[in-house]
Amino acid sequence: MGNTIVRVIFTVLIIAALLVVAAVWMVWKRPLTVDAWVSRRALGIAGLEQRELAVAAGRVSYWEGGSGPPMVLLHGAGDQAGAWARVVGGLVGDHRLIIPDLPGHGSSDPAEGPIHMTQLLDGVSTVLEARCAGEPVILVGNSLGAWLGFLYALDHPERVVRLVAVNGGPIFNDNPNQVNIFPTTREEARETLRALMGPTSPPVPGYVLDDIVRRTAGGPAARFASTADELGAYLLDDRLGEIGVPVELLWGDADRLLTLDYGQRVADGLARGRLHPIAGCGHVPQRECPTAFLEALEAALAAPPAEPRPDPVAGDGSPAAAAEAG
């Protein structure tokens, strides 16, 4: 009996040691995978449930929970629903949150191949039609998610009570700071993050930079960028004034990819647009500066919608360059 107990204890210890080694390996070699798991777990802890819907590309995954008027949160290229994990706690008490994995991202199909704008728009439309039919929504989008929000609001103005664009828009971006959004080395990745994050953010460890390079090469952002030749048709440089819904532009002012000047150009072209800089934050403020982001969002939504302006300024209508507009 004693030997049996010893063998059981030894086996349990070996299994525990292997699990620790596996966890350390995952954190070291696949930190972005671990971050995605942790952030998605946080959505569940906040009370959201993961569900699926059929779309043309297969299945789209989304998270839903909370109570109140519906608020739909759209992440950026290469990200997933967990991008909003650090702010859901401040929103779920006042809103019914709906957070999809955009097609080709997270758990949503397609798992391989190019990601087309038509697939992204179909995924967003399907989720909104299924979960918010007859209910005007507050539509919040970051980066590519903001671009999708503008396109959806242009086609379905009756469905959007307020659009919140977070460091993203539907007009051409000439990338004045020459930010490399597809780094191929650790040092290039370090420079990319410096351009996308605020000056007080802590340095990113080298093993995380290595995983960014690995994921960038064949991840969702690259799969979307592979359709760059199609994207010019979805730019709204000369159509911003047609967007009638009120738009709040929340902008991390340290973003060197989509600069504050870009945000101002979008605001100037809108009939009902307002720009709200978030000091010291970068391209994804809901991750980097969640408290400041929530304060800016709450203040923007608490104010009455902007009144229409008679003279919005049109953009220059330049063609797209890969995925740099989103």
Tokens found for residue 218: 């064949």
Reported confidence tier of residue 2, pLDDT bands at 50, 70, 90: low
Q: Which of the four pLDDT bands, split at 50, 70 and 90, describes residue 312?
A: confident
Average pLDDT, the chain: 90
Taking residue 269's Cβ as centre, other Cβ atoms within 10 Å add up to 22
Share of the chain above pLDDT 90, in %: 84
> Alpha carbon of 103 to those of 90, 109, 246: distances in Å?
26, 5, 26
pLDDT at res. 323: 46
Q: How far is CA 66 from CA 44, 90, 137, in A?
A: 11, 11, 14
Whole-number pLDDT of residue 148: 98
Could you report the per-residue pLDDT of 202-227, keeping only the tens digit for each?
A: 999 999 999 999 999 899 999 999 99
Q: Given this structure, which CATH class describes domain 36-302?
A: alpha beta
Q: Does 286 have pLDDT greater than 90?
A: yes
Amino acid at 71: M
Q: What percent of the chain has pLDDT over 70?
A: 87
pLDDT value of position 164:
98
Is it the case that residue 7 has pLDDT exceeding 80? no
Least confident of 16-20, 68-72, 175-179, 301-305: 16-20
**pLDDT tens, residue by residue, 222-243:** 999 999 999 999 999 999 999 9
pLDDT at 144: 98
Q: Is the pLDDT of residue 310 over 60?
A: yes
- Residue ranges per structural domain of the chain: 36-302
Mean pLDDT (whole number) for 238-260: 98
Given a cut of 50, whether residue 17 has pLDDT beyond it is: no
pLDDT at residue 157, as a whole number: 97
| Burial of 85 (C-beta count, 10 Å sphere; 0-12/13-18/19+) | buried
Give yes or no for residue 128 having a pLDDT over 90: yes
In the chain, the DSSP E strands lie at 49-55, 58-66, 70-74, 96-100, 137-142, 160-166, 247-252, 273-278
Question: What is the 3-state secondary structure of 90-156?
Answer: CCCCCCEEEEECCCCCCCCCCCCCCCCHHHHHHHHHHHHHHHCCCCCEEEEEECHHHHHHHHHHHHC
Query: What stretch of H or E contains 264?
Result: helix 260-269
Q: What is the pTM of this model?
A: 0.89
Supply the pLDDT for residue 1. Answer: 58
pLDDT of the residue at 109: 98
Cα gap 285→167, rounded to integer Å: 8
Note whether 305 and 252 are within 8 A (CB). no
